[in-house]
Structure 1
Amino acid sequence: MATDFDLYGTDTPAPVAAGQGAEKEPGLVYGSAEEFLHEQLLPTYVRSVTVKSAKWCIEWYFHPEAVSRVAALWRSWEHLRLDPKTGMSVWWKDHADHHMRVLLDPQGPFYNCDMKEHRYPEHLEPKKAPAGWFPDVRALQA
Structure 2
Amino acid sequence: MADDFGLFDTDTPAPATSQGEEGKTEETPELVYGSAEEFLHEQLLPTYVRSITGKSTKWCIEWYFHPEAVSRVAAMWRAWEHLRLDPATGMSVWWRDHADHHMRVLLDPQGPFYNCDMKEHRDPEHLEPKKAPAGWFPDVRVQDR
> Do Structure 1 and Structure 2 share a fold, with TM-score over 0.5?
yes
Match of 2:29 in 1: 26
Separation (CA, whole Å) in 2 of partners of 1:29 and 1:58: 24
Residue 24 of structure 1: CA displacement?
2.9
CA RMSD of aligned residues (A): 1.1
Separation (CA, whole Å) in 2 of partners of 1:58 and 1:94: 25
Q: SS where residue 123 of structure 1 aligns?
A: coil
Residue 36 of structure 1: CA displacement?
0.1
Q: SS where residue 95 of structure 1 aligns?
A: helix
Match of 1:72 in 2: 75
Taking only the aligned residue pairs, the percentage that are identical comes to 87
Residue 141 of structure 1: CA displacement?
1.5
> Which one of 49, 52, 64 corresponds to residue 52 of structure 2?
49
Structure 1 residue 39 corresponds to structure 2 residue 42: yes
Larger relative strand fraction? 2
Separation (CA, whole Å) in 2 of partners of 1:116 and 1:25: 40
> Which one of 123, 127, 130 corresponds to residue 130 of structure 2?
127
> Deviations along 1:35-72, whole A, 9 cap, x unmatched?
00000000000000011110000000000000000000
Separation (CA, whole Å) in 1 of partners of 2:28 and 2:121: 39
Q: Which amino acid aligns with 1:32?
A: S
> Which one of 98, 101, 106 corresponds to residue 98 of structure 1?
101
Q: SS where residue 27 of structure 2 aligns?
A: coil
Match of 2:141 in 1: 138
> Which one of 87, 92, 99 corresponds to residue 90 of structure 2?
87
Separation (CA, whole Å) in 2 of partners of 1:118 and 1:69: 18
Q: Which amino acid aligns with 2:135?
A: G
Separation (CA, whole Å) in 2 of partners of 1:85 and 1:23: 22
> Which one of 98, 112, 115 corresponds to residue 115 of structure 2?
112
Q: Structure 2, unaligned stretches of length 5 or more?
A: 1-24
Q: Which amino acid aligns with 2:51?
A: S
Residue 96 of structure 1: CA displacement?
0.3
Matched length: 121
Q: Structure 1, unaligned stretches of length 5 or more?
A: 1-21
